[in-house]
A and B are shown apart, each in its own frame.
Chain A
Amino acid sequence: MKNWFKKTVPFVMFAAAWALILAAFLLGERVPKQISLALFTLGGLLLGFGAVGIALSRIHVSPELLKEYERGEKDERNVAIREKAAMSSWYWTLYMLWAVFMAIQIFVGGLWGVAISVVIVLHCAFYMVNIHRWNKKL
């Protein structure tokens, strides 16, 4: 059942994507621009995910290669590398957000400064939520 679901989803996404894009074309100027844009965006996203899913399902991998791939996925050194990379990325994203925040405060100001502050707060809040979550788990 799960396997059947996994195989079907990319095709459903692909079909839904074309339906959305077609709907956007057919509705044309009868709907507000935002709706049209949303239909195109969602259609594009689904088209991408669907196409990639279908392409991946067509690739036949030998059992040995599949085993090697799975081993690489759960290999503890690879997991440690991914965790360290994610942590570094978090810090770098924070530094970049601070730089953008400072630049906006100096040169632009206004609502953009508020928007970037919200992003920084969310960035840190997600981190703290995940710290709490993992603190409970481990």
Chain B
Amino acid sequence: MTNRIAELRKARKISQVELADGVDVTRQTIISLESGRYNASLLLAHKIARYFGLTIEEVFLFEEETT
């Protein structure tokens, strides 16, 4: 799972702290999400997508695992 959080945030000139405040998580969670170390829950994914005014699919990119 990859995401466009950093890209969307930078395009809109929003700081990590502002995004964290907006979706009610810590800044460390935003850092982990952006670096791909942590995958957001469905609830947080929904909050982040709504914060950017987009759908979950537009923010979070699900990549099918190839075997």
Interface residues, chain A, with chain B CB atoms under 8 Å away = 68, 71-72, 75-78, 80
Contact = CB atoms under 8 A, between A and B. Distances in A.
B38 interface: yes
B43 to A, nearest CB: 8
Nearest to A72: B26
Interface residues of B, number: 11
B61 interface: no
B15 interface: no
A77 B38 contact: yes
Nearest to A78: B26
B66 interface: no
A72 B24 CA distance: 9
Contacts of A71: 24-26
Contacts of A78: 26, 29
Contact of B32 (A68, A72, A77): A77
24 contacts: A68-B26, A71-B24, A71-B25, A71-B26, A72-B26, A75-B25, A75-B26, A75-B28, A75-B29, A76-B25, A76-B29, A76-B40, A76-B41, A76-B43, A76-B44, A77-B25, A77-B26, A77-B28, A77-B29, A77-B32, A77-B38, A78-B26, A78-B29, A80-B38
A131 to B, nearest CB: 21
